[in-house]
Structure formats: structure tokens, C-alpha cells
Amino acid sequence: MNKIYLSSPSMGKNEHKYVSDVFKTNWIAPVGPYLEKFEQNISNQVGVNNVVALQSGTSAIHLALRILDIGKDDIVLCQSSTFIGSASPIIYQNATPIFVDSERDTWNICPNVLEEAIIDCINKGNKPKAIIIVHLYGMPAKMDEIINISKKYEIPIIEDAAESLGSHIDNKQCGSFGRFGIFSFNGNKIITTSGGGALVSHNKNDTNKAKFLATQAKEKDLHYEHNTYGYNYRLSNVLAAIGCGQMEVLNQRIKQKRNIFDHYKSSFSSIKFQNEPNGYFSNRWLTCGLLKNKKQRDNLITTLSKYNIESRPLWKPMHMQPLFKTSKYYGSNISEDLFNRGICLPSDVNMTEKDLNRIDKILINFFKI
């Protein structure tokens, strides 16, 4: 039996052609026309003027923190329920992460707990310097409330939209709400450049700084002059060529992902699927849901893997990670409950009708429908 994946790369018809063109023109470098074109494509999609294409989503978050001048003794609030890439840049900067619980509706950061955390930090004399929020599995977070809090306390938002390219709230795209938005084009994401990322900002100064820091912080002199240190974070023009092809199929991929979600949702009422509030639009990168309890969830993962079908628990919250065992956490047990009972189902756009039938049969038997 062929393996069925959670989410594997899916090339359109032009990626190969664009990469060949890169070879023909010898722009095999972290600079070139496809890099500029890819940035323009992202800008058009997200509705933010300034875009820097980078080697990963993690490096994009790192640059955002560096540009905000976040360092030792600074607090960064971060959604606990997420992938490590959201949080590890806080450690790169020697800052202190404090984690915040999710809310039941979207599974993303709870605005009430976020405000409680901010007030408590301020009372203790150390106002947080940034808030990292995530749109998990493509579902937009409660941005109205979050933006209000950000404005009220004057704390900038870094919007981790790694999983949510093309998702929106009332047609305002994820990644366009905060001071910074970040995207990932890793191999498992809705579109991919094998590895890649982007930082977007409404402020051109921010992206100019990001470009400078992403290319080793070289000053303008002909010799290499350095007043500060940077990173080698710029995306290759070769990979940007893949990205240009992938942007052409983004809307098609979203349609396919949403069809996969609709299929599961209409077939399996035993699973409590991630909600899409009114006015919200998720790209449904992964179809995720909650089962009765941990035992049932673990059984389902084991059963699917017996048939060579990949599935996984939801992200293990950062405050439960051994790495962050001494980090502070605000909230109750919502992100823990999501982790204990939640499952990511195969959401691969490369699945055939036959593959979906194979999954259906197993699920029908599992739930004894």
C-alpha cells in the first residue's frame, strides 16, 4: 500500500520551467529576478507592500525580534500551542519567552489570557516587548481583540502565518494584521520552495533592515565593512523560482485542502473539527479535530499507521516542552486538552479518490458507523 502523507509537496506546471530559466541565465545566487518576482507575488497575495524572502519562517521571526531590538531581560509573549519555530528565535535573542494558552473557538491565543499576562508582567515591572501569535493549521486567530490589546498596551505583534498563507478574516489576509507577518515555504506547508520563508511589514524601514541583516549586515562600502553582525538568511533565486510557480497554484491548493476538510467533516460526526468562525476563512492546511479522549486518539493514530497512513497529535504546547520547563505560562488547560485529544488527519492534496476511500473505510470501521 502506498504511503498517505499529512501534507506533501505538490508542484504545478511551471516550477520546473522557471528553475530551468534560472540555470540558463546563471542566477544561481541569493539574488536575482525570481527573488524579486516571488516577493512581488507574496506582496500581491497578502496585501502588504514590503516583503523579504528568506531561508525559513524561523529566520523571519528571528529577524523580526532583532529589528524590535529584543534581547536579554526582555519578555516576549508567545502562543503556547504551536510549532517550536515560533518560539526558538526568542531563545536565539537571549530573551525570556512567556507562554499563553489558547481559546476553544479557533485553538489560537486566548485574548483574555493574553491581556491578563500583559497586566501581570507590567505590574511586576517588565512590560513584554512583543507578542507572537499563530494562525494554527490555517485558522486565523481572534485578531480584532488581539489588535485592540496590542494598541492598548503598545506592544507590537509578530504574526506567525507560517501555516496560513491565503487565510483571511473578512478578506484581510493573515500576515497583514501585525507589525510583522511571517510565512514558511517548508516542504510540508500549503505551498513550498523545499525550504523558505518570508517576512512582511507595512513599514519599508523594517524590510530594509531585514534585508541588511539577512545578508551579513554589510555596509555600502566596496570592501566589507561591519558595524553590527547579521545572518546568512536570504532565499536563493533558484528556490524563489519554485516559489513563483507555486504561487500560481495557491488558490487551487486552498480549494483542494478545503474540499478534503469538507469531506471529513460531512462524513465523521465523531470528530469535533476545528471551528471556522463567521467571516473567517481558513486555508485548511491540515484538517484537525478532537476525539473523545487521549486513548481514542492514540488508537486512531496507531490504526492509521498500520495501513501506512500518516497522522499526528496536535502541536505539543511549548509550556509542556522539557526545553521550556522553567518558563512562565498563563492559562488553564485548553492547549493541553487540544494536545491530548487532537489529531491531524491526512490532508495531502496528492491523495487520490482511492486513497480517500482507504482512509474512509478505516475511519468508518474505527467509529463503528
Ligand X SMILES: *Cc1c(COP(=O)(O)O)cnc(C)c1O
Q: What are phi and psi of 82, to 5 degrees?
A: -170, 175
**Which residue of 184, 246, 282, 335 would you call a contact of ligand X, by CB under 6 A?**
184
Q: Could you say whether residue 134 binds ligand X (CB under 6 A)? A: yes
Q: What are phi and psi of 187, to 5 degrees?
A: -60, -25
Q: Could you say whether residue 160 binds ligand X (CB under 6 A)? A: yes
User: Which CB atom, from 186 or from 201, has the smaller least distance to ligand X?
Assistant: 186
**Which residue of 106, 108, 176, 186 would you call a contact of ligand X, by CB under 6 A?**
186
Please choose, out of 12-20, 158-166, 207-215, 250-258, the segment that lies near ligand X by the rule CB under 6 A. Answer: 158-166
Binding footprint of ligand X, residue count (CB under 6 A):
14
Residue 55 near residue 234, CB atoms below 8 Å: yes
**Shortest spacing between CB 147 and ligand X, in angstroms:** 19
User: Which CB atom, from 102 or from 184, has the smaller least distance to ligand X?
Assistant: 184
Q: Could you say whether residue 102 binds ligand X (CB under 6 A)? A: no
**Which residue of 45, 50, 58, 287 would you call a contact of ligand X, by CB under 6 A?**
58
Q: Could you say whether residue 85 binds ligand X (CB under 6 A)? A: yes
Q: What are phi and psi of 163, to 5 degrees?
A: -105, 5
**Shortest spacing between CB 60 and ligand X, in angstroms:** 8
**Shortest spacing between CB 201 and ligand X, in angstroms:** 17
Q: Could you say whether residue 22 binds ligand X (CB under 6 A)? A: no
Rule CB under 6 A: which of 220-239 touch ligand X?
none
Q: Could you say whether residue 163 binds ligand X (CB under 6 A)? A: yes
Q: What are phi and psi of 246, to 5 degrees?
A: -65, -35
User: Which CB atom, from 59 or from 237, has the smaller least distance to ligand X?
Assistant: 59
User: Which CB atom, from 163 or from 276, has the smaller least distance to ligand X?
Assistant: 163
**Shortest spacing between CB 191 and ligand X, in angstroms:** 12
Q: Could you say whether residue 197 binds ligand X (CB under 6 A)? A: yes
**Which residue of 41, 80, 86, 102 would you call a contact of ligand X, by CB under 6 A?**
86
3-state secondary structure 124-180: CCCCCCEEEEECHHHCCCCHHHHHHHHHHHCCCEEEECCCCCCCEECCEECCCCCCE
CA distance 56 to 12: 21
Q: What are phi and psi of 91, to 5 degrees?
A: -70, -40
Q: Could you say whether residue 173 binds ligand X (CB under 6 A)? A: no
User: Which CB atom, from 90 or from 363, has the smaller least distance to ligand X?
Assistant: 90
Q: Could you say whether residue 38 binds ligand X (CB under 6 A)? A: no
User: Which CB atom, from 93 or from 186, has the smaller least distance to ligand X?
Assistant: 186
Q: Could you say whether residue 82 binds ligand X (CB under 6 A)? A: yes
**Which residue of 7, 45, 56, 335 would you call a contact of ligand X, by CB under 6 A?**
56
CA distance 307 to 256: 23
**Shortest spacing between CB 82 and ligand X, in angstroms:** 5
**Which residue of 34, 83, 99, 180 would you call a contact of ligand X, by CB under 6 A?**
83
**Shortest spacing between CB 135 and ligand X, in angstroms:** 8
Please choose, out of 54-62, 93-101, 247-255, 292-300, the segment that lies near ligand X by the rule CB under 6 A. Answer: 54-62
Query: Which residues lie near ligand X (CB under 6 A)?
Result: 56-58, 82-83, 85-86, 134, 160, 162-163, 184, 186, 197
